[in-house]
């Protein structure tokens, strides 16, 4: 394989999307070509820089989407009595979009405002208090409620569907499935870095495969350095796991935070049994760091010590 052929295929190589023979050929070439090794490093760098561009989804947006969908589905189910071509025609032409529902809601609220003001003046509106809470029902607090659907109900009535955000409290042990799923979900999906740190901290002493995978993902991909450090601390309990060692080496070379890189080297080096020879892949990583422009004093000095010790014990 020539250098241009290797370099044009580096992205597919990193994605693991090349055929076995092509991958082998690239690896053989990389072993002896410093120029392509440099190209691979650059390729990894721009791949990593793209990860920082990922748009995160806020929980508020997700909750809004779920609310919109629930309303739309309710309306779809309400058309159940229609069937055949009429149903299809209506579902295509008049399926209520979020915008149309919003418009309808807004129109209703304007009308309700006028009507309400008139009724308030005449003292005919006993159910709604000044704070906007429907006291007689004792259920709704408008600060946490959102009108989702409005339908006429009889001649004078109206049926209003309201979504109300509800908090639930879940207590249990870490081996409880629900508790565990909630923590894993919070670790991966919460928009709040504080919640992610807490969930990692609570799970970091667990050794089950789902926790190990989630920690690995957080250590490599979380946007917040504190979460990545906590996840790394959790990974320290898997000393013989090759995938974790590879991830530690990657983080050591590519993470943008000096604190995370320092944590990674502290975890990676104790993985070697005292007095034993450092494995060749770790040694290569440390040598790469010493050759690179990385300025972390701590990481460089630890790498220097290990590389020097390995060279001193080398048998010629």
Partner 1 sequence: MATSVDTLGRVAVNGVQDRSNETTLIKAAQSGDAEAFEQLVRSYDQSVLRMAMNLLRSPEDARDVYQEAFLRVFRKLPQFRFDCSFSTWLYRIVANLCLDQLRKRKVRKEEASSLETASGEMDRFQFLPEQRADVDPQRQLFSSEVSSRVNSVLETLTPRERLVFEMRHYQGMRLRAIGESLGVTEEAAKNCLFRATQKMRAALGDFL
Which residues are at the interface with partner 1 (CB under 8 A)? Answer: 8, 11-12, 15, 17, 42-43, 45-47, 49-50, 52-57, 61-62, 64-66, 68-69, 72-73, 76-77, 91, 95, 97-98, 189, 208-210, 213-214, 217, 223-225, 256-259
Shortest distance (Å) from residue 114 CB to partner 1: 26
The number of beta carbons lying within 10 Å of the beta carbon of residue 115 is: 11
Q: How far apart are CA 204 and CA 246, in angstroms?
A: 19
3-state secondary structure (DSSP) of residue 147: strand
Q: How far apart are CA 153 and CA 140, in angstroms?
A: 20
Shortest distance (Å) from residue 127 CB to partner 1: 30
- Which one, 115 or 242, has the nearer CB to partner 1? 242
Angle at CA of residue 180, ends 175 and 182, nearest 5°: 155
Q: How far apart are CA 214 and CA 225, in angstroms?
A: 16
Shortest distance (Å) from residue 222 CB to partner 1: 11
The number of beta carbons lying within 10 Å of the beta carbon of residue 77 is: 8
- Which one, 53 or 156, has the nearer CB to partner 1? 53
DSSP 149-171: EEEEETTTEEEEEEEE-------
Shortest distance (Å) from residue 15 CB to partner 1: 6
Q: Are 287 and 281 in contact (CB under 8 A)?
A: no
- Which one, 83 or 155, has the nearer CB to partner 1? 83
The two tokens of residue 202 are 């609570």
Q: How far apart are CA 152 and CA 167, in angstroms?
A: 30
- Which one, 216 or 289, has the nearer CB to partner 1? 216
Shortest distance (Å) from residue 58 CB to partner 1: 8
Shortest distance (Å) from residue 146 CB to partner 1: 14
- Which one, 59 or 277, has the nearer CB to partner 1? 59
Backbone φ and ψ of 124, nearest 5°? -100, 15
- Which one, 165 or 277, has the nearer CB to partner 1? 165
Shortest distance (Å) from residue 33 CB to partner 1: 17
- Which one, 210 or 311, has the nearer CB to partner 1? 210
Report the run of H or E that residue 73 belongs to, with start and end: helix 59-78
């Amino acid at each position: 394989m020539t250098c241009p052929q290797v370099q044009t295929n580096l992205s597919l190589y990193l994605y693991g999307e090349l055929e076995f023979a092509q991958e082998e050929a690239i690896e053989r070439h990389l072993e002896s070509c410093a120029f392509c090794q440099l190209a691979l490093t650059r390729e990894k760098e721009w791949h990593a820089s793209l990860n920082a561009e990922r748009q995160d989804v806020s929980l508020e947006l997700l909750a809004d989407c779920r609310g919109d969908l629930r309303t739309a589905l309710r309306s779809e189910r309400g058309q159940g009595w229609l069937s055949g071509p009429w149903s299809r025609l209506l579902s295509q032409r008049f399926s209520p979009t979020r915008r149309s529902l919003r418009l309808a809601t807004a129109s209703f609220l304007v009308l309700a405002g006028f009507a309400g003001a008139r009724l308030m003046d005449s003292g005919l509106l006993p159910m709604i208090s000044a704070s906007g809470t429907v006291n007689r029902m004792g259920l709704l607090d408008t600060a946490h409620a959102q009108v989702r659907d409005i339908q006429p109900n009889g001649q004078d009535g109206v049926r209003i569907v309201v979504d109300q955000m509800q908090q639930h409290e879940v207590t249990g042990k870490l081996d409880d499935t629900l508790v565990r799923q909630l923590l894993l979900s919070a670790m991966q999906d919460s928009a709040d870095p504080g919640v992610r740190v807490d969930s990692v901290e609570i799970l970091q002493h667990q050794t089950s495969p789902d926790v190990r995978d989630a920690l690995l993902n957080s250590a490599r991909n979380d946007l917040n350095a504190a979460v990545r450090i906590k996840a790394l601390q959790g990974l320290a309990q898997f000393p013989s796991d090759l995938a974790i060692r590879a991830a530690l080496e990657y983080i050591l070379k590519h993470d943008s935070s000096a604190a995370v890189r320092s944590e990674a080297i502290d975890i990676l080096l104790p993985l070697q049994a005292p007095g034993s020879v450092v494995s060749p892949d770790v040694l290569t990583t440390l040598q790469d760091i010493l050759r690179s422009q990385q300025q972390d004093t701590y990481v460089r000095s630890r790498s220097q010590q290990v590389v020097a010790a390995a060279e001193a014990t080398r048998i010629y």
